[in-house]
Structure 1
Amino acid sequence: MNHKGTKRIDTKNLILRKFELSDAQAMYRNWASDSEVTKFPTWKPHDSIEVSKNILKGWIDEYKNKNFYQWAIVLKSNGDEPIGCISIVRQDEEIGMVHVGYCIGRKWWNQGVTSEALSALIKFFINEVKANRIESRHDPINQNSGKVMKKCKMKYEGTMRQADKNNQGICDYSMYALLSKDYIRE
């Protein structure tokens, strides 16, 4: 893969950008401390703004690495305040795979925001980074996450039973992927 790092991506309605330490309050308030939003991720809800700050410090330090990808999701109509995040949580150079994870504040659910962000990442990783495979997974109970993947033309590949753990405990996960050869270039 031809890594580019976390570069700014603009879409019709969104700005995907690097996080800044000043985003800690918005991160904590908009999604990271919300027990409903953090029901299905594999990371624990933040119990203080200090937790958000410490995580952001780590991410900001990692931005120097070209194979580190962590974006703040910002609505163009909402100023510069992050409402969620989207990132590469795992990658495999040998097969050219990136695994996408995302989380968005409850206030912005079911408005197409996450689908727009994921579509932008798919385009970026296939066209610029030259990834071969873009994948993501979700707890089957969290059907809205699967709807995002389907909307972005990712193909369902199966459900692994009791193969993951999230904030609900041991769980199944459904895998979706899109191969570069199947991507319709814009």
Structure 2
Amino acid sequence: MFDDNREFMDSSTLEGERVQLRRIEKIDGERLGAILSDLQMINCANFHMDHSYFGSKRMLNQILSRELENFIHFGIWLRNIDELIGLISYQHWSRVHSKATLGYMLDRMYWNQGLATEALKILLKFGFEELGLQQVEGRCYKDNAPSEKVMTNNGLTWVRTIPTRYGAVGIASEINEFRLSETSYRQVHAK
């Protein structure tokens, strides 16, 4: 098991059929910055961020500097062309409580192709089998059916709908919360 997010970020790439998850390096900053600057995508993916150019820059700097110890960020690369197409994370990772919150965003050019679903499957396997997570939580805006589908396709189930104090203009003001326990993960992936 890993004790620090920096310890495993140097480990090998996490492989899937079409995507791989790996460490984001400073040389990936320009491409990741382009993904993070797509405000439509950010509005769908991030509830508490400043939805502006400056908010995107701040997020990019935090990811590249790895300054947040309880955040585990992986880039999502499309294997056949070795291109960075998104970001997937464990946020608010607690070793003490063995839980984390999911975060993911994909360049809009790659939406609706099952790539986020595959990336999340890889991340969940890593979380439950390597990090020793007991519970994972995911959230999406109530009207974001594609993001909800990514989670439910990976075994997460709806828990509740909560209001949000934040949100971009034109985005729903409620958030659906989903969860997956380690026990449920084992049942879903034993099939």
Map residues 137-148 of structure 1 onto 2, 5 A cutoff. Answer: 137-148=139-150
Q: Which residue of 2 aligns with 1:34?
A: 38
State the distance in 2 between where 1:74 and 1:89 align: 20
> Displacement, 1:86?
0.6
User: 1 CA distance for matches of 2:165 and 2:16?
Assistant: 32
Distance in 2 (alpha carbons) for counterparts of 1:77 and 1:63: 31
| Residue 62 of structure 1: aligned partner | 66
**In structure 1, distance between residues paired with 2:51 and 2:85:** 15
Contact kept in structure 2, 1:33 and 1:45, CA below 8 Å: no
What is aligned with 1:109?
Answer: 111
Instruction: Name the counterpart of 1:87.
Output: 89
**Unmatched tracts of structure 1, length 5 or more:** none
SS in 2 for 1:147: helix
Structure 2 alignment gaps of length 5 or more: none
Aligned in 2, Cα 1:164/1:121: closer, same or farther, shift over 3 Å? farther
2:77 aligned with 1:74: yes
State the alpha-carbon separation in 2 of the partners of residues 14 and 118 from structure 1: 10
Aligned letter for 1:101?
Answer: G
2 and 20 in structure 1: CA distance in 2 versus 1, 3 angstrom threshold: closer
Once the two structures are TM-superposed, the CA of residue 170 in structure 1 deviates from its matched residue by 7.6
Look up the equivalent residue of 1:71 and give its one-letter code. F
Corresponding pairs, count: 180
In the alignment, what sits opposite 1:167? 168
TM-score with structure 2 setting the length:
0.81
CA contact (8 A) 2:161 2:177 kept: yes
Provide, for residues 141-165 of structure 1, a one-character-per-residue CA deviation record: whole Å limited to 9, x for no partner: 11111010000111111111x2352
Cα 1:21–1:94 change in 2 (3 A) is closer
Specify the SS of the correspondent of 2:8. coil
The match for 2:53 is: 47
2: CA distance, partners of 1:26 / 1:123: 26
For 1:22, the equivalent position in structure 2 comes to 27
Residue 19 of structure 1 and its aligned partner are, at CA, apart by 1.0
Correspondence list, 1:116-155, <5 A: 116-155=118-157
After superposition, give the CA deviation of every residue in 1:34-86 in whole Å (9 maximum; x if it has no partner): 232122223245637xx64x644433432795x5410111000122x311101
Does the alignment pair 1:11 with 2:13? no
- Give the percent of matched residue pairs that are identical in Structure 1 and Structure 2: 23
Tell me: CA distance 1:64–1:96, structure 2 relative to 1, closer, same or farther (3 Å): closer
| TM-score between both structures, scaled by the size of structure 1 | 0.83
